[in-house]
Amino acid sequence: MIWLLLACNPGASIEQVATVEATPLAYGRDKKRMNIDQVAASIERVTGQSWQELDESGEQVQLFETLSGSLGKPDYLAATEEDLAPGLLFQKFLDDAARSTCIAASESSDVGDFLMLTEEPQDNLRALVLRFHGHDWPAEDARLDPWLNLYGVSETPERGWALVCVGLITHPDFYTY
């Protein structure tokens, strides 16, 4: 019967079933940042330096321990869980720690040490990205170009590797999982 109606009335059409827009499914979970102890240990592991300074009495003070309350570590009076949000204060202290430890590592670095693993910048950068972020990129990968550009803006190789080190530590791939 429908075919007969369609044949007799060329302007008529069969209504289509309305479609529903597909909503993307959220797979996995939101990224979290490492806790303060993990960040401190990771920075020391990749640079060979800990974030510290001299206090008034001349003793070395571990700044991640001193600033842990400001960085979200629980005191078990007001808070019992560590705040793992990568907030502005965390970013500021992470940047300070990265600059301090990376400059110290670059000043005490020889070929084969923490920042200067090989003579060739491209190979060294690949090794650093693997160490800091866990990415094993091929030699001519375009993702290395911004890091090589960062290395290239410095006057000396030591300062260039310090810049790259700071960038690698402050990148979310370093402190999130």
Amino acid at 5: L
108-117 contacts at long range (C-beta below 8 A, 24 or more positions apart):
108/48, 109/158, 109/161, 113/48, 114/46, 114/47, 114/48, 114/49, 115/47, 115/161, 115/162, 115/164, 115/165, 116/157, 116/158, 116/161
H helix runs in the chain, sequence order: 2-8, 36-47, 63-66, 88-107, 121-133, 145-152, 157-170, 172-175
The series of mean pLDDT values per 10 residues for the chain, 177 residues long, is 54 56 67 91 94 90 89 86 88 96 86 80 94 94 95 92 96 93
Q: Which residue do the tokens 């550009």 mark?
A: 149
Single-letter amino acid, residue 104? A
